[in-house]
Each structure stands twice: as structure tokens, then as C-alpha cells.
Amino acid sequence: MSQHPLTKEICEIAHYLYSKGLAPGKSGNISVRFQDTVAITPSGVSLGLLKENEIVLTDMDGQLVAGGDNPSSELQLHLEVYKNKEETAGIVHTHSSYATGFAMSGEKIERLEGFGERSKPFLKMVDYKPPGTMELAKLVGEGLKYEDVVILENHGVVATGEDLNEAALLAEFVEETAKTQFVARVLSKIEFLG
């Protein structure tokens, strides 16, 4: 595949997410939309080891344009978000430890001060549907119409942004929020001696 200007950015963000523990092993996927083309990470490749020539380009219907022939199994999820939220140009799907722990336990992650509307005290959680399915893609697309991030029940996090960097930083902030909430809950249950 000839190098697209955004493939370097995708690799840099992928390596960053991996280094921060937001996408361990071969988990997670990211994409960027430019005009009517989507650049997305391939299926089965660690974000920490991703190379520019492995990035897959598709059109908005999911038809391959260039790159490898194995786009992320969550391609439809990314496409649904782009179709439902015009201003989105970058999407990050992570499986970070704390946020995913909350997602698996069914516990909601509280919005920290300055993070979204206070009338909505918790981050939106999307009901569980099997990964890679159109059912999940539709739910996430709908869930992100008026949100920048959703928690996937029993699964992980999907964050969006007007560019990929914004989406990545939001995913990182969600993980830090979950970690802070977890620590606060643990400490509130500890009785200190002395």
C-alpha cells in the first residue's frame, strides 16, 4: 500500500495506546476518516507492533480500497459511528484494565468535573452484544450520536474525536477516571488503624 499521510499518525497513536496499557496484546482498534475513506487497523495485529503498510483502507460501505485484506473485526462499528456522527474523524476502541473492569462488573463510571454535562452523572454504557456484530455496531453508532465516549458492557471503551489524537486522549482520560473511581471506592472501605 502506498503510504497515506494519516498512516503515520495511526501508527503513532496505536503505539501510544499500547504503551499506556490501553490496548494490551492484540486487543483494540483505531480508525481515521478522511472524506469518504476510512483507514483502520487490521485484525489480529498488536497495536504496539503495528506497521504503516498493515493499515487497511475502506470506503464508507466497508469495501476494501487499499492495504491488507483483513480490516479490524470491528470495522462495522467504526463505520456506524462515522455515519451517525458527522463531526467524528477519529475513533479509538480500547480494552484498558480499569474501564473494562467497570464494564464487566456493570458498574457505571462517573463523569469527573469538567467532563461533559453534570446532568448526566455517569458515562453511557451500551448493552452487551457480541464483538464484531452488526448488532453491536448499531448500538454503538446510536449511543455515540450525542456522546463522545461509550462504555461497552462486558467489553471495553469506544472514544471519538474530531481527530485521532482527541479520541486517544479521551480514551486515556476515561481509563484514569475509572482508576481514580476504583481507588476512591477501595480507600473508602478501608479502616485505618492508629
Would you please indicate which residues are annotated as catalytic (active-site) residues? 74
Alpha-carbon gap, residue 172 to 174, rounded angstroms: 5
Provide the 3-class DSSP secondary structure of residue 48.
coil
Q: Indicate the Cα dihedral angle 129, 46, 91, 70, nearest 10°.
A: -70
Buried-exposed string 68-106: b where 16+ CB fall within 10 A, e elsewhere: beebbebbbbbbbbbebbeebbbbbbbbbebbbebbeee
Instruction: Select from 1, 134, 137 the least CA-distant residue to 65.
Output: 1
In the numeric block, which cell numbers belong to residue 179?
482508576
Closest CA to 9 of 52, 53, 49, 57: 52
